[in-house]
Amino acid sequence: MTLLENKPADIPAPREITTKPRVSDKIFRGVVTAGGLSSLVILGFILIFLAYQGYDVLKAQGFGFITGSAWNVFTDESGNIDYTQTKFGIAAMLIGTILCATIAVVIAVPISVLTALYLSFYAPATVKKFMIAIIDLMAAFPSVLFGIWGFFVLMPSAEYWAKLLHKYLGFLPFFDMQVPVYTRSPFIAGVVLAIMIIPIVTSISREIFGQTPLDRIQAAYALGATRWSMIKAVVIPYGRSGVVGGAMLGLGRAMGETVAVYTVLNIVYQINWQVLLGAGGNVASMILLKFGEAGTGEIKALMAAGLVLFLLTLVVNSIADLIVKSTGAKGR
Amino acid sequence: MSTVIATPKPGKPWTATPQQRLITASIYLGAVLVSFTLVAITPMKGKLAYFVVFFFSSLLIDFILSYIQRGMASAKDAIARGFVSVGMTLAVLPIFSILFEVVKRGYKGLNINLFTKDMSLTSVNDPIGNGGLIHAITGTIIMVAMALIVAMPIGILTAIYLTEIRGKFAAPIKFLVQAMSGVPSIVAGLFILSAYVYPITGALSGFAGSLALMILMIPTIARTSEEVLLLIPNDLREAGVALGGTQWRTVALVVVPAAKSGLVTALILGIARVAGETAPLVLLTGGGEKVNLNPFDGPMGSLPIYIWKCFGQGTEESIARAWSGILVLLVIVLALFISARFLSERKVAK
Amino acid sequence: MDKTATKPSSLSDVAAAKQKKSPGAQSLGVGLEARGVHAWFSGKHVLDGISLDFWSGTVTALIGPSGCGKSTFIRTLNRMHEFIPGAQMAGEVLLDGKDIYESGTDVTKIRLKVGMVFQKPNPFPSMSIAENVLSGLKLAELKVADKDALLEDCLERAGLWSEVKDRLNAHGGSLSGGQQQRLCIARSLAVKPQVLLMDEPCSALDPGSTLKIEETISHLSSSMTIIIVTHNMQQAARVSDYTAFFLSDGGPGSMIEVGPTSEIFSRPRDTRTENYVTGRFG
């Protein structure tokens, strides 16, 4: 065994492998990296410009901007905002945003998860392909379409459902009603938003369920599991957190929706917890509503509101993204 | 041992036999009967009542039948099957309703003037034949095209950075692209307003609109392209480099051509994403009624704005116009979507 | 084990040493019968008319080169075949004289009677060791009076009890690969199957763990029918009473020869079998 005897006495340090990229590759990498960083630049600029424009308002209102619920504009003779009297507060609209988006998630998530389960484990191959295409198509529909369809087609039915909810579940505080105005309520806006986020929650849930290790699914079946007991024992423990992430992503989408909410919701500047009552709003649709008649000073307040909305959706989306990714990466 | 000469016909003994299908059909038939009877004899009424009674009665019949035949586990399975089926139905019901209603309400407004005239000489109460949406179609095409010119390189470069360079920023950029796809469209509109319209031009224009569309387009293009590039097998890249190609040449001559149809799909999906975007255009474009081919000067119409305005005017005629505008927009989105599907199918087949 | 002590010099000696019980004498009757089983994947014919009887209380090894349809065949025996999209089959598989593919058969009951152990150990990661063993009861909604006794019994028979009895609540994933595979065997045993299918159960394991699994198989074979797919001919010779040799000549896989293991390894009738078991190809 000469080879063994010739073994060097000590192990050499690993050599460092270096490559000197060619000039063309350097340029290529530079250009691509610059392109890749553009998302950072754009997001950064959004933050900077909205903050810059909204700075005056935020400074004058302080925390009152997100805790107050008044939106009264007073101007002096020259048309400038009189900050001593003017009140900008978006609390009512923030609550409306969260309320509508929550209703949407509460309705959409069960439907989406059931749909994803159907597509992953029940549907015959041909049906599956067709349904996936249909749901993806729904994700591509513009929001103005959902809004107008919601206004003309869904509203009459949804009003009826709202009345049923009030009649049979009226003892729950949020289904309570003093004034019987069922049209254009947060409930109806929530239903429209739910329909809009069903595609995204469904496709994320389906993706997560599709990653369930096949050997575990087969092991469960080989133990005599029915489809449902297999899902309960294998798929749900695996995909649970991913579905939570998908739901949050849907929540983020629902929070930022403008046109559809504007169309079906009666925007009233007050805090309203009664989901069936025809009064509410969300930050995005409020911006659209106020923009038309706003002067320069008020537009700054709208910029500040946009900043708050931007940060809110950014946080929700980021958390959602982290949850979905960690589900995909983990082995269990 | 008997000698078998002919190979038997392949079959799927696990699929339902006609007899089982008959049983399934009779369960639903029974449920239909139950729902009609119950709706007739109880105070419950309406489509909702039929739906609910049908659902629960078919569930109950299926449950009992499965329990008798195979026991509790199977009965629970039947319940779960019922629920996932109804979930699926609820998820796709709106889309069929939307397609049906848009066609039903929109086709009346379709005529040739729609594609030759604009709205500059038409008032809200004019009959349908007067005026059209050529200004909106040209506006949408110009704005989307201008957005695409910028968003395409940025989106695809981002995807190439994520899949080919995989530098130290890959993880944060992936995260930021995801975050960008969640930016509300109204925020994109406000941003362009604050960063371009107020400080620079001071006037609304089609270009301002296309800038906002660009922001909304980039993440869609980047994410779809990334998925497509990830599907290109690593062997191809290694083969390119092993032949002495630089990374730049490998990407340009091997990777990108191999992913071509997928990248086109990404662009189409990006277009479909923004073609119907309304909120930022309300803020930024001024929404003119006349054909305007210069995106840098004067208000520019677009399909979503046309729909939005007609809907807001509220007269019978303008609502009808809004529906035909939706129909046109829907056809465009459908055409984009189907061509994207077609291209990605071909990519898979190859 | 005496068979390791004799230090056999060839596979036929190993098989002969194992050949203590004569076929038929100890068997408890025909448990599982395949009658002219064909299989297709997306129209491609992969398995050509396999007819094979598995006697209760025996171990049958299925050997043959890769792609000869062994795994496909074993999966037709408890109806796992149909999970692959595009799968089709023809022929009959009789369990206690009843065709398991007959329409109206409750497939979950079939899989309770014909259990399966997979190539890679796959304990359920969200469950503890004890929960894993008893998971079959939960999945099939079976009721058992004394769960602890069943738990101990299954782990004992799988040869794992002494190693895990102090940490039954630990995660299944905390065990070594070989232990995980024995945990999977214990999991299959808990629903009291008549037949246990093993699809290359040792291919992902080291030799030491493989030996343990083989011991487990010999213990189990007294009480149930075991069918094992293996690429390891030593293993086939060591653990099986009967051996079936599968081969595909590019077309659908077929069974070339079946017989008592000692005969297949010492005096195979077919030259192709001889070439394979002597290592001349495959």
User: Structural domains in chain C?
Assistant: 2-17+28-277 (3.40.50.300)
CA distances in angstroms from A186 to A103, A153, A227, listed in the order given: 8, 17, 38
The answer as to whether A3 is a domain residue is: no
pTM of the model: 0.86
As for the ipTM of the complex, it is 0.88
The answer as to whether A218 is a domain residue is: yes
pLDDT at A131: 92
Q: List alpha helices for A174-272, DSSP H.
A: 186-210, 214-222, 227-230, 236-256, 259-264
Inter-residue contact C158 to C196 (CB < 8 Å): no
The domain in which residue A198 lies consists of 92-294+315-329
Touching A (3+ Cβ pairs <8 A), the chains are B, C
Which CATH number goes with the domain that contains B233?
1.10.3720.10
* Residue B162 CB partners (closer than 8 Å, separation 6+): A36, B170, B173, B174, B222, B226, B229
Averaged pLDDT, A44-63? 90
Averaged pLDDT, B3-30? 79
Q: Which residue has the higher pLDDT, C68 or B241?
A: C68
pLDDT at C129: 93
Structure tokens at C111: 């899989």
The answer as to whether B123 is a domain residue is: no
The answer as to whether A75 is a domain residue is: no
Write out chain A residues lying below 8 Å of C112, CB-based: 223-224
C-alpha span between A246 and A249 (Å, rounded)? 5
For B47, phi and psi rounded to 5 degrees?
A: -60, -40
B87 and B163, same domain (yes or no): no
Name the minimum distance, in Å, from the CA of B20 to any CA of chain C. 8
The answer as to whether B120 is a domain residue is: no
Minimal-distance CA residue of chain B relative to A319: B179
A145 → closest Cβ in B48, B222, B330: B330
Please answer yes or no on whether C89 and B70 come within 8 Å at the CB atom. no
Report pLDDT digits (tens) over A211-245.
898 889 999 999 989 999 999 999 998 898 889 99
B182 and B70, same domain (yes or no): no
The domain in which residue B80 lies consists of 18-97
B93 and B138, same domain (yes or no): no
CA B332 to chain centre: 11
Name the minimum distance, in Å, from the CA of B89 to any CA of chain C. 24
Write out chain B residues lying below 8 Å of A263, CB-based: 311
pLDDT at B291: 86
B118-127, B262-271, C243-252: range with lowest mean pLDDT? B118-127
Write out chain B residues lying below 8 Å of A40, CB-based: 172-173, 176
- The full length of chain A comes to 332
C86 has a chain B CB within 8 A of its CB = no
Averaged pLDDT, B78-96? 92
Other C-beta atoms lying within 10 Å of the C-beta of residue A24: 13
Minimal-distance CA residue of chain B relative to C106: B70
Q: What percent of chain B has pLDDT over 90?
A: 42
C44 has a chain B CB within 8 A of its CB = no
B139 and B271, same domain (yes or no): yes
C-alpha span between B175 and B190 (Å, rounded)? 23
Q: Does residue A100 have a pLDDT over 90? A: yes
Report pLDDT digits (tens) over C74-116.
999 988 888 888 888 999 899 988 899 888 788 888 888 999 9
The answer as to whether A237 is a domain residue is: yes
pLDDT at A47: 95
Indicate the Cα dihedral angle A209, A215, A221, A226, nearest 10°.
-10
Which CATH number goes with the domain that contains A252?
1.10.3720.10
Q: What percent of chain C has pLDDT over 70?
A: 89
A26 has a chain B CB within 8 A of its CB = no
* Residue B239 CB partners (closer than 8 Å, separation 6+): B254
B57 and B202, same domain (yes or no): no
- Token pair 């389960």 is found at A117
Residue B286 is given by DSSP the state: B
C-alpha span between C187 and C185 (Å, rounded)? 5
Q: A 72-101 residues with CB below 8 A of B? A: none
The answer as to whether A74 is a domain residue is: no
Q: How many domains does chain A divide into? A: 1
Name the minimum distance, in Å, from the CA of C4 to any CA of chain A. 32
The answer as to whether B122 is a domain residue is: no
The secondary structure element, H or E, covering residue C49 is: strand C44-55
pLDDT at A109: 96
Other C-beta atoms lying within 10 Å of the C-beta of residue C174: 13
pLDDT at A325: 82
pLDDT at C27: 43
B76 has a chain C CB within 8 A of its CB = yes
Q: How many domains does chain B divide into? A: 2
**Judging by DSSP bridges, how do beta strands C59-63 and C242-247 pair with one another?**
parallel
Report pLDDT digits (tens) over B274-300.
999 999 999 999 878 888 888 888 889
**Judging by DSSP bridges, how do beta strands C195-199 and C114-117 pair with one another?**
parallel
C103 → closest Cβ in B10, B20, B72: B20
Minimal-distance CA residue of chain B relative to C102: B13
pLDDT at B232: 87
Q: Which residue has the higher pLDDT, C71 or C141?
A: C71
Inter-residue contact A202 to A135 (CB < 8 Å): yes
Roughly what angle, to the nearest 10 degrees, separates helices A23-61 and B185-192? Answer: 90
Report pLDDT digits (tens) over A137-183.
998 899 999 999 999 999 988 888 888 888 888 888 778 777 777 88
Mutation target among A212, A223, A236, A241 for the C interface, most CBs of C within 10 A:
A223
Write out chain A residues lying below 8 Å of C80, CB-based: 218, 221-222
Q: What percent of chain C has pLDDT over 90?
A: 34
pLDDT at A1: 45
Q: 3-class SS at C242?
A: strand
Q: What is the pLDDT of chain B when averaged over all its residues?
A: 87
B92 and B150, same domain (yes or no): no
Given B39, B71, B97, the domain boundary residue is: B97
B240 and B291, same domain (yes or no): yes
C88 has a chain B CB within 8 A of its CB = yes
Mutation target among C47, C141, C143, C254 for the B interface, most CBs of B within 10 A:
C141
Q: 3-class SS at C40?
A: strand
Given B52, B77, B97, the domain boundary residue is: B97
C-alpha span between C273 and C233 (Å, rounded)? 12
Q: Does residue C20 have a pLDDT over 50? A: no
Averaged pLDDT, C159-177? 89
Inter-residue contact A52 to B193 (CB < 8 Å): no
